[in-house]
Amino acid sequence: MNHSLQRLRDILWSRPGWFILAFIIGLATLGRFWSLGLADPLTDEPSYLFRSLGYFDFLASPYQTTPLEWSSERAWWTWLSFHDHPPFHFLLQFLLFKITGVSLVAGRILPALAGVGTVVIIFDLLRRLSDLRVAVIGGLLLAVNAHMLWISRIGLQESLVLFLVFLSLWLTHQLIRRRRAYLWVGAVMGLAIMTKLTAIIIVPLTLLFWFIVHRDEWRWSKVLSVLLVAGAFFLPQAVYNLAMYNQYHHFDFQFSYYFQQASPWLSRPGRAEFASQGLAARYFLPNLRSVISPVAVLLFMVSLFLAVWLLWRHKLNDQSRIVYYLLIATCMTSLWLLFIGPSWRFLSLLLPWLLMIVAFILARITKVKFLSGLVCLILIWEILFSWNTIFSLDWPGKRQWTYSAAKAHEYPYGYNQLEKALQIFYDGKRPAIVLPVASPVINQFVQQRAVQMKGEAVARVLIYDPRLYGEPLMWSLTRRL
């Protein structure tokens, strides 16, 4: 019996074993797609999905108007981007709705696929840069981590950003020696920035990976070519901002804030959360602690210490460059979070780097026989922690000890039940009366959509409690009016 178990372990660790990757993909897919519509649409998710329905920049809010509401005719440049975010995520989601139909689950397929893709890419990257043992541990930790699951199960941009960041590293590793093929790195960098501006950190992260891990292939001509390709993808966003400045004398929602320009956007809830770098620094560690398990906290602390110590003592040999890069990438991302604010969604940008460092350290520890079961115990704990956070309808134990603070955004409060009730009244029907909207551009869009709708014409008045949370109502009510 012991001989059979030893042989099985040797097979798992010593052979490439596609079934190992298949198991990790299956685990990552199960965690990201099972009951994908369980949680209510909270945070900014409904506003992103709402605007993706028609690729139309409108929030139905007097506190954050858009350029479509500022004039009687739609300007040509408003097709290039959105007032608060670049267009790539909205465009992909718009196309996905066209293919799959409109539903909350359809709105979460893109981040779920990106989450699985991130696990696969990091697994293969670790396998190529180190060995299968590191790749398996890293892939398993990423597959079951509660916060990585959470960000992959809601319709925010961060899951896609992470996928593009690590795809950029993978392409750098694979294509940097091939003539012209390396320009795909620039394309991925550009798409990441066109997904969300916070993804601009992909540029120093990718170039640093290139310089440290593939220094022999570092050529300034290549670097400039990659940056030019990335800049070409950013061109629509640049034109959008220049045209907005030319017409309204300020840039978009994000750039007008950083350049301290006068603009119509007086309400900036996301900015108010961390109004200064001092406030961001104060809440960085508490926020990080709130979304990971106590085991993960201990792992991160021990792994970071051991990684630095092993580098200092020259114990990592041929793996020193990649561990050195991971430590610098962790520091760079942490500093970036202090700048943009360590909110839960942004902390997902940091966790993969920490988990990869943990994978390197655990891979060395598990070479000692009596410690090899440690990885299994850690995985079991992380799976239970993720289950309590993502899938359990109870609130077992104590927050931060048995479930993550992100559970508050991964819980069915009843808005999905409201959505199901409204489907009975509205699915297969169209409005018999379409009230005019004050904005000519918005009104034209609404009237055109009403004409395109099919089904029985009905006229209904909805009365609802104003205490209901506005974000999920945008998805359930506003999109139907």
Give pLDDT, residue 7. Answer: 56
The tokens for 275 are 């109004």
How do strand 429-431 and strand 456-458 relate by DSSP bridges?
A: parallel
The tokens for 300 are 């991160």
Local confidence pLDDT in tens for the 481 residues of the chain = 455 555 555 555 555 567 888 899 999 999 999 999 998 998 899 999 999 999 999 988 888 899 999 999 999 999 999 999 999 999 999 999 999 999 999 999 999 999 999 999 999 999 999 888 899 999 999 999 999 999 999 999 999 999 999 999 999 998 887 777 888 999 999 999 999 999 999 999 999 999 999 888 898 999 999 999 999 999 999 999 999 999 999 999 999 988 889 888 877 766 666 767 888 889 999 999 999 999 999 999 999 999 999 999 888 788 889 999 999 999 999 999 999 999 999 999 999 999 999 999 998 887 666 567 788 889 999 999 999 999 988 887 888 888 899 888 877 788 888 888 888 888 778 888 888 888 899 988 888 888 888 888 888 788 888 778 778 888 888 887 6
3-class secondary structure per residue, 204-227: HHHHHHHHHHCHHHCCHHHHHHHH
Give pLDDT, residue 1. Answer: 46
- % of the chain surpassing 90 pLDDT: 59
* Segment 100-110, tens digit of pLDDT: 999 999 999 99
Half-sphere exposure of 125 (CA within 13 A, CB side): 29
Alpha-carbon distance of 307 to 185, in angstroms, equals 28
Give pLDDT, residue 51. Answer: 94
End-to-end, the C-alpha distance of the chain in Å comes to 66
Backbone angles phi, psi at 403, to 5 degrees: -155, 155
Q: State the amino acid at position 126 in one-letter form.
A: L
DSSP helix/strand/coil, 430: strand
The tokens for 437 are 């909207």
DSSP helix/strand/coil, 74: coil
* Segment 290-315, tens digit of pLDDT: 999 999 999 999 999 999 999 998 88
Query: Which CB contacts under 8 angstroms, 24+ apart, belong to 302-310?
Result: 302/361, 303/354, 303/357, 303/358, 303/360, 303/361, 303/362, 304/330, 304/354, 304/357, 306/361, 307/357, 307/360, 307/361, 310/364
Alpha-carbon distance of 270 to 253, in angstroms, equals 11
> Quick check: 162 and 205 in contact, CB under 8 A?
no
